[in-house]
Amino acid sequence: MDKRINYKRIIPVAIAAIVLAVTFRSVIFASYVVEGESMEPTLYDGSMLMVNKVVYDVTEVDRFDVIVFRATEEEDYVKRVIGLPGDTMIYENGKLYINGKYMEEDFLDSYAEASGVAPETEDFTLSEVTGEKQVPEGHLFVMGDNREDSRDSREFGFVSVEQLVGKVDVTYWPLSEAKLSYGN
């Protein structure tokens, strides 16, 4: 039995695998590094993320998804989806009401655990911060999890779905904070 390695077969397979891996990674996923504290303690300054760039081509954005979007020509932001098209929204006594229904924000529990206090979200209605009664079609209302230190839709208004880069699927650095999914 001949145990020699047949390099003529292995090299093309290895090259094809590398090309596929690079293509898969660059077309479907993008790497991002979090800058700032607006998503703490869900994501920390310096956290490294993998963003799924094609998920919203085949499915709708869900409430509480963590997304990356183009904020300006030079900057992308990472925030959490709070309001979807057609939603009305009220924050009252630290509680979120969407379309008149109270919505649990379980992801904020980690903020209370990390800081020892519940996050403060000042009372507001959608119309007070955006001038609109509902989230317009084709737009989202987004907020950072660190509600007291976040530039978000309360400041800059709605985010067009055209601005979406994708959904945060994986945090891979630091390893102590590694996680495979966010949102629903």
Would you call 167 a catalytic residue per the annotation?
Answer: no
Question: Quick one: pLDDT at residue 41?
Answer: 81
Return per-residue pLDDT of the chain as tens, 184 residues: 556 667 777 777 777 777 766 666 566 678 788 888 898 888 889 888 888 888 887 789 999 999 999 998 889 999 999 999 999 999 998 899 999 999 998 888 776 666 666 667 888 999 999 989 999 999 999 999 888 888 999 999 999 999 999 999 877 766 666 666 665 5
Query: In whole angstroms, what is the distance from residue 87 CA to residue 82 CA?
Result: 9
Question: Quick one: pLDDT at residue 179?
Answer: 66
Are the CB atoms for 65 and 92 separated by under 8 Å? no
Fold of the domain spanning 7-177: Umud Fragment, subunit A (2.10.109)
Are the CB atoms for 152 and 36 separated by under 8 Å? no
Tokens 């209302």 appear where?
141
Among 64, 53, 167, which residue's Cα sits nearest to residue 106? 64
Question: Quick one: pLDDT at residue 43?
Answer: 85
Question: Quick one: pLDDT at residue 122?
Answer: 87
φ and ψ of 164, to 5 deg: -65, 135
- Residue spans of the domains in the chain: they are 7-177
| Dihedral, 115, 124, 85, 142 alpha carbons, nearest 10 | -30
Question: Quick one: pLDDT at residue 162?
Answer: 93
Q: Which of 38, 47, 150, 153 is catalytic?
A: 38
Would you call 115 a catalytic residue per the annotation?
Answer: no
| Dihedral, 129, 110, 118, 34 alpha carbons, nearest 10 | -40
Question: Quick one: pLDDT at residue 172?
Answer: 73
Are the CB atoms for 136 and 124 separated by under 8 Å? no
Task: Write down the pTM of the prediction.
Answer: 0.80
Query: In whole angstroms, what is the distance from residue 17 CA to residue 50 CA?
Result: 20
Reading the block at residue 33, the tokens are 């590094």
Tokens 């993008």 appear where?
30
Q: Which of 79, 150, 153, 167 is catalytic?
A: 79
Question: Quick one: pLDDT at residue 98?
Answer: 96
